[in-house]
Chains A and B, each alone.
Chain A
Amino acid sequence: MTGRIGSIVVCVVFVALMLALPHMVRPYYVGLATKMIIFALFAMSLDLLLGYTGLASLGHAAFFGVAAYAVALLILRAGVGGWIAFPAALVASTVTGALVAVLALRARGSYFLMITFALAQVVWSVAFGWRSFTNGDDGMPGVARPNFGWSLEGTDAFYYFVLAVVGCAALLLLAIVKSPFGRALRGIRESETRMQALGYDVWRYQFVAFVLAASFAGLAGALYAYFNRFVGPEYLHVIQSAEALIMVILGGAGTLVGPAIGAALIVFLEDYVSSLTQHWLLVLGSIYVLVTLFAPRGLVGLIVDYRQRRFEP
């Protein structure tokens, strides 16, 4: 079937492009691509929560940031190496996710949104205020990249590392959403009461989804800490959570690939726009408004609609 062959061709071309990138563009752009991939993971993790489970969180950056801080603290304060810091960061974000989930899942809708926002702010205020521990506003510079045999200090080497890690994570996420668990999540998104009636322990599914989303966000956060070699409270700020949200919506919630594209786009736009003008916030806010008004199903939605219409008589 041409469709299947076509999609394989697409995958191969895409992967080839990603692998060849460092040889095609200057190091600055390889760095930018690395950042795009990291945020693609962050956005996909939020998509698991929002797009597939139907829970809109305004505090997703908390898990992103907690993992980043875990990496920095372990490396800088405890002198621990990458083999320990990396997994420890994942544990940290997972545990934080579990704690937040327990508190936030007692509510729904706007209450849920507000509580996730508020709890993320609490985490932010700890990072910002506990100066002796986290250095507060100044952040923690000097995070050395892990050495798993090869040095990752070089831009290209780190790019491939991130590509590999995120690639695996993306495949894992894909497997999760295609599994019976993923289908159950989608059912819960459509109607909690119906699923409850069918005998599903809705809370448990939502809890697991939340924790998984937090873990993947943590993975992205740890990678970001290594990428920047620096960690600061901005990683936990509501603006970071808001950017993740718009990445998901812009790309198209519930598609996994949409949020990845949304992330790449937002990262690219921010880089591009902030060189031209200091009014990035204006642009970001406008994207929010325009996407919500005119493209609520995101870019993927627009493309699907367009192709649908092309084939309609």
Chain B
Amino acid sequence: MIWVIHVLNGIAIGMLLFLLAAGLSLIFGLMKILNLTHGSFYLVGGYIGLTVMQRTGSFALALLAAAAAIALLGAVIERFVLRRFHLDELPQTLLTFGFLFIFADLSLWIWGGDPVMVRQPRILAGSLPMGDYGYPIYRLFLIAVGLVVAGALWWFQEHTRLGTMLRAGVDDAEIARALGIDVSLLFTLIFAVGAALAALGGVLAAPILSLYPGADFDALILAFVVVIVGGLGSLKGALVGALLVGLLDDFGKAFFPQFALFTVFVPMAFILVVRPTGLFGRR
């Protein structure tokens, strides 16, 4: 039974990682931007969710508000700042880095430095008895949410016009533009969606992992590890990478506690040596 719990744990954390990494991967795949502000989207999204939760008591509203607010923020950043440096990678990266620092400081200013946890919605609180142990229902909920989001993103990518345009844009932006696809609008949209995913991750993670100054960097690093393992630009890569990292992290901590910090980096280092573009990355 204890094995089942460890596996569930790995998958639950993996789903959180997926939400985080999917956005980063999508943004890079289409726009070739390494969005370092992604960590801020996670943290600020989480904090916004916290504030909404405190005012209204509704977790669903918190999720919605955070996703919407951060999507807007992302769209504005992309449209008015990043767009200026189209295809110039270093300036874009530097800008997103600058924003990461700015948002880190602002969130410390606004929400303070004490770590905070969003209260779990009552229906999801409590644990499912599993033999001698109990497993948190909320984490099972996370697994469900992750699967739903993954499914939705996949369906969007494969079966909608927008998704087809996205795939075309990823393959070759210039040709896509030549074919009449409004690539600029697509860019803004995808950036916003990626940001919203990170924000969702932040709100969903808050009840268990808490929000604290520095969570943006921690999240960013984990997202990086996942996309390096899974491959940039691939949704499948983000999912597989996230699950792999989540499981390895849990089992690593449980059975090799002295290497607890490294269990996250080991798969990454391995992939870098063996297959630098990641499991499902494109060259």
Chain A residues with CB under 8 Å of chain B are 56, 58, 103, 106-107, 109-111, 113-115, 117-119, 121-122, 125-126, 128-129, 238, 242, 245-246, 249, 279-282, 284-289, 291-293, 296
Contact = CB atoms under 8 A, between A and B. Distances in A.
A289 B99 CA distance: 7
A103 B262 contact: no
Contacts of B95: 288-289, 292-293
B125 interface: no
6 contacts: A109-B89, A110-B93, A115-B272, A129-B261, A284-B98, A285-B101
Interface stretch (B61-69, B159-167, B224-232): B224-232
A124 B129 CA distance: 40
Contacts of A293: 81, 84, 95
B113 to A, nearest CB: 10
A118 B34 contact: no
Nearest to B224: A118
A119 B271 CA distance: 12
Interface string B165-189: 0000000000000000000000000
A282 B94 contact: no
A118 B101 contact: no
Contacts of B32: 109-110
Contacts of A284: 98, 101
Contacts of B227: 114
Contact of A125 (B105, B265, B276): B265
A281 B40 CA distance: 13
Contact of A292 (B94, B106, B228): B94
B93 A107 contact: no
Interface string B100-120: 111111100100000000000
B98 A111 contact: no
A296 B91 contact: yes
A279 B272 contact: no
A300 B85 CA distance: 21
B144 interface: no
Contacts of A288: 94-95, 97-98, 101
B90 interface: yes
B277 interface: yes
B102 A289 contact: yes
Given A111-B277, A238-B217, A288-B94, A279 B105 contact: yes
B18 interface: no
Q: Which of B94, B100, B224 has the most C-beta atoms of chain A within 10 angstroms of its own C-beta?
A: B94
Given A106-B276, A122-B268, A282 B224 contact: no
Given A122-B265, A122-B268, A285-B105, A110 B98 contact: no
Q: Which of B85, B98, B106, B277 has the most C-beta atoms of chain A within 10 angstroms of its own C-beta?
A: B98
B160 to A, nearest CB: 27
A287 B98 contact: yes
